[in-house]
Amino acid sequence: MKPWFVRISTWVLIAWALPGQSLLRLKNPGAQSSEAAPTVADTTVEYRSWTPGRRHILAEFSPDVEADQLIALREGGAEFIRYVPDHGFILSVTQDFLPQGSGLVRAEPLRPAHKLSQALLEESSPQGQEHLIVELHPDVDPLAGRLIARLLGQEVLEHPDLLPNHLLVRAPRSDAVRLAEWDEVAYVFPASRELVEGQHVEACPGALTVAGPVGQYVATVGDGWDGPGLGSAHLGFHFAGLTRKLPESRVREEVTRALEEWSRAASVRFSEVTSPNLPRTLDFLFGSGEHGDEYPFDGPGRVLAHTFYPAPPNPESIAGDVHFDDDEEWVAGPDLSVRSVDLFSVALHELGHALGLGHSDFPGSVMYPYYRRASALTLEDLNAIRTLYAGADETPPEPPPAAPVSLSITSPAVFPVTTRAAALSLSGTAGGGTGAILVAWASDRGGAGRALGQTPWHIVSLPLEAGPNNLTITATDSAGVSASRTVTVTRLAAAERPALNILSPTTANTYESRSASVALAGTASPAPGIVRVEWSNSAGGSGPASGTSSWSTGPISLRPGVNTLAVTAYDSSGASASKALAVSYWPPVSDTVAPALKITSPAATSVLVAVPTIRLQGIASDNVAVTEVTWSTSYNKSGRAAGTTYWSTGDIPLLVGTNVVVVRAFDAAGNSSWRSLTVTRR
């Protein structure tokens, strides 16, 4: 069955706006509406959606909105997807949804400007490519996100440690805007070096609020423990339960060290208390599975810890509490094992949430949504916490003298270098100094940029001009101390560039195949210089072609859909030329009819409950036969329903807040259909 998408050309919303600025804490507040009177907004903007009939809007409510007003919106077809502090939600609504009253201050489509990280504008990418994290709305099928990226010609990279609603995409930086134009996309921000290199990482799903989780597009939650403005706060902390995997003294030392790190950054002081569950107190607890807060841990890996944001929005006494999964391999200090978890690094990150910070978009920062081993807060973290609190009001003790900043280049190992290539990759190490180290490069022939990482660091495809290029690599620590190395790379005049043509099965850029494989053939020049020709398929598979100046591939297996076949010819100097052919292949199928599916109990598409589980019932039918009915939740729980024509689930676990339950019916031919139910648990 061919994929499809729809364009929503017009969508009229009545938009309310109270005098003054919005209270929504988006990272891009300048993108919000700022009208001072009711208007009719967004009557000509085009919004792209892969899913027909529904789209996502940003809705802001007045602080005194009543619960029955929110329930009325749900009964009118609105699904509450994510909480946007203060007093806002991302809603999934039908195309003809028209909010009226209901305590709304503003309702408008989620604009591309809301979805683009400022980090994409502040970072540089000399090679013109960027690795992006694409966050989808939690009610969006990840397959839809993959299809959107492929439609835009982007490459989706696999990584087993990504959050369920995150995609890792390699694409030109300019494509971030094209991604943000799609309704299914919630936010786009840079990927870290660890993710790009396929290293094992641990993700933080985000801190918790009583109104549900928040997205990456949220900067802060609440005004901090000091209230509105930049003030001071004095908080208690208590160790409610410790792990046996580390000595008790070491656990206290690592957590206290993390507390002190935030105290050095902002005017927040901590004092240990002897009783748990006190107001304005952070309780630290190690627990396994069910541990008393209705958010059970999931065993080793995945969720390492969770934290409750300050009061408000969370109530006392859970506000600010930090819980660690005791099933993890907790360590303190250097440890080379892949699955070990550094307690200080995780505690430092979670304490940022406990003080009111959302996730950072900047790779390398402590508050980035994927944990990294940390020794101190970065400048990005310092700037973030000082949007909630005043700067530290005490002079920290004089630190010991820092080791001198060191810088080494490990590849290439010997300079000067002579090459015909238009770019050069360098790598090395940096150390010593104070705090984080930034490695940057500059060329006397023009151009400058930043390296990836620190120890080690990498510069990918540094551009070269013909003739000598004097390259200066500089490592600078947070105190401004630096070390530099200048090396010379000479680029020789380029030889005749390779050229390649695909002649069979077509000379056009697209081709529709009737069989499950296709063979390519063509030419490459200059004839004496071509040493090899290779092919690859975007849908999977690669290999060498036979011949050089005249080449052929033999049968290449195709997958249903669009297969982009790239052929590349290389000469003896490493220069290359490529051509691509987009081959569409749709295998004949005898059954293309998806099952019909209906949820009969509950009858509504959005329900409000006060119990920890829910059971669903319904009916499924097919022109041949329904083979299976399954369910899954937005919190990564899933199972199989009993029965097919008349089906029912067992107890589906619910978390406090918004739960999206998706039911799918499958037939023997692999066709499927789905229905969703939004369950809000008080």
For the stretch 128-180, pLDDT in tens is 458 999 999 999 999 999 999 999 999 999 999 999 999 999 988 778 889 99
The DSSP secondary-structure symbol of 99 reads -
DSSP annotation of 420 reads: S
Supply the pTM of this predicted model: 0.56
pLDDT at 191: 93
> Which fold is adopted by the domain 499-585?
Immunoglobulin-like (2.60.40)
Q: State the pLDDT confidence band at 30, using cuts at 50, 70 and 90.
A: low
**DSSP one-letter string for 232-291:** -EEEEEEEEE--SSS-HHHHHHHHHHHHHHHHHHSSEEEEE-SSSS-TTEEEEEEE-SS-
**Strands of 66-103, DSSP E:** 79-84, 88-94
CATH fold label, 406-491: Immunoglobulin-like (2.60.40)
Cα(188)–Cα(174) distance, integer angstroms? 12
Question: Is residue 373 within 8 Å of 249, Cβ to Cβ?
Answer: no
Strand partners, 674: 664
pLDDT at res. 19: 38
- Per-residue model confidence as pLDDT tens digits over 190-248: 999 999 999 889 999 888 888 878 999 999 998 999 988 899 999 999 998 899 889 99
Alpha carbon distance 219, 216 (integer Å): 8
Our answer to whether residue 135 is catalytic in this structure is no
Same-fold call for 119-196 versus 406-491 = no
Among 15-19, 98-102, 521-525, which is the least confidently predicted range? 15-19
How far lies 178's CA from each of 101, 213, 625, in Å? 33, 26, 40
Percent of the chain with pLDDT over 90: 51
Q: Which range has highest mean pLDDT (90-104, 469-483, 624-638)?
A: 624-638
Domain 233-385, CATH: 3.40.390.10
pLDDT at 18: 37
pLDDT over threshold 90, residue 185: yes
Report residue 165 CA to chain centroid gap: 7
What is the three-class DSSP state of 597?
Answer: strand
pLDDT of residue 31: 45
Q: Cβ-count burial of 679 within 10 angstroms (0-12 exposed, 13-18 middle, 19+ buried)?
A: buried
* CA distance from start to end of the chain: 41
From the candidates 79, 108, 130, 350, which is the catalytic residue? 350
- Tell whether the model's pLDDT for residue 6 goes beyond 50: no
Domain spans, the chain: 6-111, 119-196, 233-385, 406-491, 499-585, 596-681
Q: Is the dihedral of CA 343, 344, 347, 353 positive or negative?
A: negative
User: Tens digits of per-residue pLDDT, 296-344?
Assistant: 998 888 899 999 999 888 888 889 999 999 999 999 876 656 578 899 9
Averaged over 632-645, what is the pLDDT?
92
In 3D, which of 567, 568, 586 has the Cα closest to residue 576?
Answer: 568
pLDDT above 90 for 102: no
pLDDT at 635 over 80: yes
Rounded to an integer, the average pLDDT of 273-284 is: 88
> Which is more confidently placed, 124 or 575?
575
pLDDT recorded at residue 334: 67
CA distance 381 to 62: 31
Q: How far is Cα 620 from Cα 627, in angstroms, rounded to an integer?
A: 10
> Can you identify the CATH homologous superfamily of domain 596-681?
Immunoglobulins (2.60.40.10)
Within a 13 Å sphere around the CA of 60, how many CA atoms are in the beta-carbon half? 20
Instruction: Specify the pLDDT at position 125.
Output: 43
Q: Is the peptide bond before 456 cis (omega within 30 degrees of 0)?
A: yes
The span from the CA of 436 to the CA of 450, in Å, is: 14
How large a percentage of the chain has pLDDT more than 70? 89
The predicted model gives 546-574 an average pLDDT of: 91
Q: Which amino acid is at 338?
A: V
The torsion of the CA quartet 117, 121, 127, 129, rounded to 10 degrees, works out to 30
Q: What is the CATH number of domain 119-196?
A: 3.30.70.2980
